[in-house]
Amino acid sequence: MAGRVAGKVAIVVGGGQTPGETIGNGRATAILLAREGAKVVVADRNLASAEDTVSLIRQEQGEATPFRADATREADIQGLVATTVERYGKLDILHINVGASIALGDAPADEISEEVLDRSFAVNFKSAWLACKHALPHLRKDGGSIVIISSLAAWNSYPWIGYKATKTALLALMANLAAAEAKYRVRVNAILPGAMNTPMAIEPRVAKGVPREEVIASRDRRVPLGGKMGTGWDVGYAALFLHSDEAGFITGVSLLVDGGEFITAGSQGT
Ligand SMILES: NC(=O)c1ccc[n+]([C@@H]2O[C@H](COP(=O)([O-])OP(=O)(O)OC[C@H]3O[C@@H](n4cnc5c(N)ncnc54)[C@H](O)[C@@H]3O)[C@@H](O)[C@H]2O)c1
């Protein structure tokens, strides 16, 4: 199959999605990678959600396999990488999409519980480190690409400490690995999405009691470019580029996908 990532084997960690009306970043990325010729292992702790992504890919005659993994557990990640290599013979692309804030009970630093802080660290940071640790021996064989989904929250003000701290720590992981792995031709980059209209961002705020129209309108207002949030596809296309050979000389980059929010410094961080 021809395509921008033709012949490559990819893992998308967190490739299912939070239920909702729009497409998530991880699902959109998995679909685009498959559409452009990659074989994609869609890993999620929610197997049914990974299976939904895989059936969307198969509807387009793409090649994908669902896999149940809790990304905070080392044994699950080891199983994911081993199964991928066993099934498809190699690994070229690791895409790390798992992340959550409000859904974990995130809170300001003077209010957050120890348990929620530990959970936030495990879900947002430890999961990414584990995936890199176990994917790297395979990625090094023939060069490869890692993209870690951080957040504009790493650079802008953001009210809740778990997400803020762990999304910043992911940039340190990215920089550390980009420097260390360059000699193996493994590129490591991060994407910092701004306000995206994905269920992960909208549904927990609606569940907290804020009317949906208000959640959407206040997030739209933050975005200079067209006054509208981005979509999962915007993150997916940025990821597709970074994972493709078109980005063959790009490593150690933190790529904003935020419709100009950071450069105008207009965010209230909510
Ligand atoms: N939507 C936004 O506005 C926005 C902004 C900035 C950054 N982000 C980042 O984008 C990423 C998520 O985007 P999305 O729209 O695909 O979210 P999503 O919630 O739709 O998808 C994330 C998937 O990860 C899975 N997951 C959660 N914990 C897991 C675990 N421990 N093990 C395995 N799977 C797990 C979930 O089941 C879900 O299917 C996150 O890293 C998030 O922080 C989003």
Distances (CA, A) of 170 to 124, 126, 166, 241: 8, 9, 6, 20
Report CA dihedral (152, 175, 77, 234) to the nearest 10 degrees. 40
Which residues fall within 8 angstroms of residue 95, CB to CB, at 6 or more apart? 10, 11, 12, 13, 15, 26, 29, 30, 33, 146, 147, 149, 239, 243
Residue 216: pLDDT band by 50, 70, 90 thresholds? Answer: very high
Note the pLDDT tens digit of each residue in 78-93.
999 999 999 999 999 9
Average pLDDT, the chain: 96
Which one from 158, 163, 184, 237 is the annotated catalytic residue? 163
pLDDT given at position 269:
47
* Pocket perturbation via mutation, ligand 1, pick of 98, 231, 254 by most ligand atoms within 8 A of CB: 98
Note the pLDDT tens digit of each residue in 143-159.
999 999 999 999 999 99
> What beta strand segments (E) does the chain contain?
9-13, 39-44, 63-68, 93-96, 144-149, 186-193, 254-257
Dist CA 190 CA 218 (whole Å): 26
Measured in angstroms, how far is the CA atom of residue 143 from the centroid of ligand 1?
Answer: 26
pTM of the model: 0.97
- CATH superfamily assigned to domain 9-198+231-258: NAD(P)-binding Rossmann-like Domain (3.40.50.720)
Contact assessment for residue 267 and residue 157, using Cβ atoms and an 8 Å cutoff: yes
pLDDT at 119 over 50: yes
Name residues contacting ligand 1 (CB within 6 A). Answer: 14, 16-18, 24-26, 44-46, 49, 69-72, 97-100, 123, 127, 149, 151, 193, 195-196, 198-201, 232
Residue carrying structure tokens 């890692």:
146
Note the pLDDT tens digit of each residue in 170-191.
999 999 999 999 999 999 999 9
* Pocket perturbation via mutation, ligand 1, pick of 11, 12, 22, 25 by most ligand atoms within 8 A of CB: 25
Q: Which helix (H) or strand (E) holds 236?
A: helix 232-243
Q: Is 20 left (phi over 0), alpha (psi -120 to 50) or beta?
A: left
Measured in angstroms, how far is the CA atom of residue 105 from the centroid of ligand 1?
Answer: 15
Dist CA 210 CA 190 (whole Å): 31
Residue 166: pLDDT band by 50, 70, 90 thresholds? Answer: very high
Q: What percent of the chain has pLDDT over 90?
A: 95
Residue 122 CA: nearest ligand 1 atom is 31
pLDDT at 123 over 90: yes
Q: How many CB atoms lie within 10 A of CB 76?
A: 18
Note the pLDDT tens digit of each residue in 15-71.
999 999 999 999 999 999 999 999 999 999 999 999 999 999 999 999 999 999 999
Residue 71 CA: nearest ligand 1 atom is 32
Measured in angstroms, how far is the CA atom of residue 100 from the centroid of ligand 1?
Answer: 6
Residue 200 CA: nearest ligand 1 atom is 19
DSSP conformation class of 196: B
Q: What is the domain partition of the chain in residue ranges?
A: 9-198+231-258
Residue 251: pLDDT band by 50, 70, 90 thresholds? Answer: very high
Tell me if residue 158 is catalytic.
no
